[in-house]
Amino acid sequence: MLMSEIAEYLERIENTRSKLEMTDILSELFKKCKSNEIAKLVYILQGRIKPPFTGIYLGIGEKYIIDAIALASGYPKKQVGQYYKKSGDIGKTAEHFIASKKQSSLSYEKLSLIHAHESLLKITEISGAGSQKIKIKKLAELFMKTSPLGARYLARFANGKLRLGVGDPTILDALSVYLAGSKSKRKSIERAYNLCSDLGYVAELVVKDPSKIDKFKLRIFSPIRPALAERLPNANAIFAKLGPCYVDSKYDGMRMMIHRKGDRVEIYSRRLDRITDMFPDVVRNALKLKAKEFIIDGEALAYNEKEHRYFSFQETMQRKRKYGIKEEAEKLPLNVFAFDLLYKNGRDYIDKPFRVRRKELERLIDKNNEGIKISAITFANSAKEIQDYFDECISQHLEGIIAKDPNAPYVTGARKFSWIKLKKSYAGEMQDTFDVAILGYYRGKGSRARFDFGGVLCGVYNPKRDMFETITKVGSGFTEEQMREFSKMLSKIRVKEKPNNVDSNMTPDYWVEPKYVITVAADNITLSPNHTCGIKENKQGKGYALRFPRMIMLRPLKDKDAYDSTTTKEIVEMYNLSRSQAKDIKSK
């Protein structure tokens, strides 16, 4: 398939805000793909060259893309740069200059999807002296071989800003429509994706051999999308939901999934990145465990041996680095607290009840292993026992607890009430914390004018709609240094128009590509006609909003991106719970 053909479909997607229409367009596009093309197309739609766990990323800087456009079109770099500065869109800049290039290449050929993907993949492998010039030349060759419209999307993809508003849920829906003519196969396709974290590979199976989708099994060294916990406000609500349950300690650290087969160990982050090379100490400790094959889920914390205490989350995240690894490992040794087992010595435990998985985990983890320990846990037969264990965890400076249904399987890639978290930050009657995505920002006024930053417009993610919905404006909690940092950081992802995957009744001074997440504290959740969070579900025609929000921290991209933000479903559930609690208090 030609990139120029694909570009026509991408333009149709860009020009619609209807998710149903996007799904139909994608399904139509998939039908035109051959089995050896669809994986590459899906990676491009995801804004990737390969799945994240391969560690292969493109992300060519705007300066180099401008150089490539100039080389391909014959126009001076300065002129291309000036046009880009006015348009603010590297894709439309490429389209403009390729459409009016000064001379046609004698070696002109039509650019295929396979050739484009292979060439871009080769660009990621180029390094060493003179590598930037070679990369620019190879990208320029691709621009010369495609249509102006193809150049638009090629440039955006190379820069990591495809800007279609298409997330994984829309791609999954489109694959189901391709396969069954409806969304009826979405659940089984998504399950396969959750078990391997490679949507391109799953798409290829859909085309080549769809019978394998329903029988899909997890594989060592293909990271599993981690299980996530729902939240409830107190021990009584948890016990009412689960009854007698396990109560696991909640550590404020770095999520890790550790895979081992023989002498090979791989470690994957919460965001499915391969992070093995950053943690040689964890690899050594994993090789000391009894089983030769396993997949365990856990939380890593940096430990201060002199003071016999664990470092904060922010300090622990300093271990996630490309350079100075040995020095940081000595300075911040990690303890991994394993809390779940998914695979062991040829046996898949993912669909087994938690009580079975926990028993096998206890058999695997040697009590003498210094670096990999088993999480502290208890079994609670009452709400009081849940509360008592929560209080004990808080007294030990842990983040809180995770209550777990003894009979539930491991639920990949989703929040279910099989796991329920209770954290110190929202254990009281007021002041909840939320992870919200930055959708735009405002110019500074008064004393903030010199920072060109006055606050952010934030939203939560609605997976059903594959949209970000606004929930609050945040203007407090920022230090002067943070205001400078946010202004600089957000200006790099600024876009001229509201992104396709943002639903907002409000207009900030600057829109941004949804990328960064901040944790905010708020007194409670209210209804508001100004915000779109949950407005489609609310019969009153109002959205949900956070009252008196304050910025607590910026979540590192290594840990969370916009799609990992709090969901609309969580917000609605928390609002309903708080209303229910208020009624109970009044009735007493």
Contacts made by residues 488-497, CB under 8 angstroms, sequence distance 24+: 489/516, 490/438, 490/441, 490/453, 490/456, 490/516, 491/452, 493/161, 494/88, 495/88, 495/89, 495/161, 495/163, 496/88, 496/89
User: Rounded CA gap, 333 and 220, in Å?
Assistant: 26
- Pairing status of strand 309-310 against strand 347-348: unpaired
Burial 176-201 (b: 16+ CB within 10 A, else e): bbbbeeeeebbebbbbbbbbbbbbbb
Choose among 533, 545, 562, 541: nearest CA to 465.
533
Distance of alpha carbon 508 from alpha carbon 498, whole angstroms: 9
**Residue 354: exposure state from Cβ atoms within 10 A (0-12, 13-18, ≥19):** buried
Show the DSSP H helices in 381-443 as ranges: 383-395
Give the position of tokens 């800007």: 163
Which pair of structure tokens corresponds to residue 230?
Answer: 């729902």
CA 206 to chain centre: 24
Type of residue numbered 115: H
Distance CA 382, CA 378 (A): 12
Q: How many Cβ atoms are within 10 Å of 585's Cβ, its own excluded?
A: 9
Burial class (CB in 10 A: 0-12, 13-18, 19+), 351: exposed
| Cα(341)–Cα(363) distance, integer angstroms | 11
- Helix, strand, coil percent values for the chain (each to nearest 5): 45, 20, 35
Beta strands in 30-145 (DSSP E): none
**What is d(CA 376, CA 358) in angstroms, rounded to the nearest whole number?**
11
Would you call 250 a catalytic residue per the annotation? yes
Q: Report residue 64 CA to chain centroid gap.
A: 27
Distance CA 456, CA 441 (A): 4
Question: What's the number of CA atoms in the CB half-sphere (13 Å) around residue 71?
Answer: 18
What number of other Cβ atoms are within 10 A of residue 536's Cβ?
A: 15
3-class state of residue 461 by DSSP: strand
Q: Which of 135, 145, 250, 423 is catalytic?
A: 250
Phi-psi region of 530 (alpha: psi -120 to 50; beta: other; left: phi over 0): alpha
Q: How many CA atoms lie within 13 A of 341 on its CB side?
A: 26
Q: How many angstroms separate the CA atoms of 495 and 439, rounded?
A: 10
Residues involved in catalysis: 250
